[in-house]
Chain A
Amino acid sequence: MIIDIHTYIGKWPHWPLPVSSTSGWVETLAREGVDTAVICSTRSLFVSWEDGNREAEDAVSKHPKRLLAFACLGPTEFSHKLAGASLDFDSYDARGFRGIRLYPQYHSYHPLYEPFVERVCQAAEVRSWPVFLPLRAVMNWGAPTIELNWMVDLVERFPRTQWILAGINYFQELRVAIQLMRRHPSVHLETSCVQGFNGIEKLVQECGSRQVLFGSGAPLQCLGAGLQKVLHANLADPDREAILGGNARQLLHLG
């Protein structure tokens, strides 16, 4: 079973995507042999995270066998409309969201100084939700990033949170992620931006396969390319199966 932990629905405002409809995206997943994709709407990054969550919820209701959604959340304090509103985590639970995604680089906040992040981590811990934190959304040098140290400090501050570190590519980023994974069994790394030669193989050599999750960043990034790096990595079959889906299955409590 293949589970892609890092995918999107919605539009990409910077250039046209080959697949921009949810139905087209679901067809692509089926064609590439991906059983389940965890989505978030790009509307949540650029327009309104709550509107995007509704879009993701709607997509999951239409394609419940293929899609799962993480709720994309941001702070409310400076929002025109949401100022003073508190996040109702129970409602996200009831709506079927399986985790949380944070995008400080798109939502203009510093995650180490934003009280809502603590609330997110506490709520996630209670519900056994993973929290997805991308250094960058796509491996494009024009894409905004967060500081690598923010990621480190967040993990160290909330070590019981089930973190999914995303958008990691460069050597120093990987080295930091590996150290975090070694120190904290709750830290996972998704593969969408790991582009180095034998990158997946080296990761597994360094910290085993249990904390590595297949992610593609598709359809912003090429799904087939994301898959090939895992399929061709020099790994034992159980490790490959764990990365492609087994680990995500456990993390998301998919039975």
Chain B
Amino acid sequence: MIVDAHVHIGKSTRLQIDADAAFLVRTADELGFDKICCTDLTALFYDMHEGNHLLYEQMLRYPDRIIGYASLHSTRFGRESLEELDRCHEVYGMRGLKIYSTPEVSIAEPAMIPILEKCVEHRLPVLAHATPAECEYLMERVPEAVLMMAHGGGQPYAKGDWNRAIMAAQKFSNLFLETASSTVDSGFVTTAVETLGAEKVVFGTDTPLLDPYVQQAKIANARLDGRARELVMGGNILRLMDLAA
């Protein structure tokens, strides 16, 4: 089963995205992906309540295809964030959390700790758009949390340093790498799997921001055996979300 662990739904002016579920499912069909894990852009960048509810409505249209991430636009909303996480998990049936770390608000701060603890309580893996250093800060404080470093931990604020991300993931059993990225540096996926084991690398595309064929080709061109490929392409994210393959 192929599962894309990093997909965006909804609208964003900065990212120039306006994508509904029908479009994303059609794109997944073209690529041969069985399921897509979506995060709503309004929830991620503007209003968590509105955006997560929009995603829930889209999930209802495609219950077998769309897995929802709850999204929070900041760590700074205290109890409101925790209640939103409860709602997303218990009412909406979402299976993970997506959160951005930005120069305005880093997620490597005490306010993130109760959010992570809530994720542990609900067994929600966290797709964190954060630097390796930020992820290390969080893993040191809540080691039972499951964190996936979005973009291989090598996004702009981390200066593209995926080697550093691999070193961070070596230190924590619950710190994973997700592969979607504008970076297509040769050897990234192969090095990650050889260093960390295939169990710790999760396939994602960042559709509809990035070209999913490029992201798919990064895995196809990596030196992986059949079992490793299955884990990376879907087995790992399903296991982390407690979903059957």
Chain A positions near chain B (C-beta within 8 angstroms) = 15-19, 138-143, 169, 171, 193, 195-199, 217-229, 231-232
Task: List A contacts of B207 (CB < 8 A).
Answer: 197
Q: Main SS of the interface on chain A?
A: loop
Smallest CB gap from A195: residue in B: B182
Task: List B contacts of A196 (CB < 8 A).
Answer: 209-211
Cα distance, A19 to B187, chains bound together (Å): 9
Task: List B contacts of A217 (CB < 8 A).
Answer: 184
Task: List A contacts of B190 (CB < 8 A).
Answer: 18
Report B198 CB to chain A, min CB distance, Å: 17
Q: Give residues of chain B (15-47) contacting chain A, Cβ–Cβ below 8 Å.
A: 16
Cβ contact within 8 Å between B221 and A224? yes
Report B112 CB to chain A, min CB distance, Å: 23
Smallest CB gap from B158: residue in A: A141
Q: Is B75 an interface residue (CB 8 A)?
A: no
Cα distance, A159 to B158, chains bound together (Å): 37
Task: List A contacts of B214 (CB < 8 A).
Answer: 195, 225-226, 228-229
Q: How large is the interface on B (under 10, 10 to 19, 20 to 34, 35 or more residues)?
A: 20 to 34
Cβ contact within 8 Å between B186 and A218? yes
Cβ contact within 8 Å between B221 and A222? yes
Cβ contact within 8 Å between B182 and A225? no
Q: A197-B208, A197-B210, A220-B185 are in contact. Are A141 and B216 (CB under 8 A)?
A: no
A-B contact pairs, 18 of them (CB 8 A): A15-B163, A15-B191, A17-B186, A17-B187, A138-B185, A140-B183, A141-B156, A142-B159, A171-B16, A197-B211, A197-B212, A221-B184, A221-B185, A222-B184, A224-B221, A225-B217, A228-B217, A229-B211
Report A239 CB to chain B, min CB distance, Å: 17
Q: A140-B154, A197-B209, A198-B211 are in contact. Are A226 and B184 (CB under 8 A)?
A: yes
Task: List A contacts of B218 (CB < 8 A).
Answer: 222, 225
Contact partner of B160 among A19, A142, A227, CB < 8 A? A142
Smallest CB gap from B159: residue in A: A142
Contact partner of B184 among A17, A171, A225, CB < 8 A? A225
Contact partner of A195 among B16, B211, B216, CB < 8 A? B211
Task: List A contacts of B133 (CB < 8 A).
Answer: none
Contact partner of B211 among A16, A141, A142, A199, CB < 8 A? A199
Task: List 10 other contacts, CB 8 Å, given A140-B183, A225-B215, A229-B214.
Answer: A15-B191, A140-B154, A220-B185, A222-B218, A225-B218, A226-B214, A228-B211, A228-B217, A229-B211, A232-B211
Q: A140-B160, A196-B211, A229-B213 are in contact. Are A222 and B186 (CB under 8 A)?
A: yes
Task: List B contacts of A221 (CB < 8 A).
Answer: 184-186
Q: Is B155 an interface residue (CB 8 A)?
A: yes
Q: A199-B211, A225-B217 are in contact. Are A19 and B186 (CB under 8 A)?
A: yes
Q: Is B220 an interface residue (CB 8 A)?
A: yes
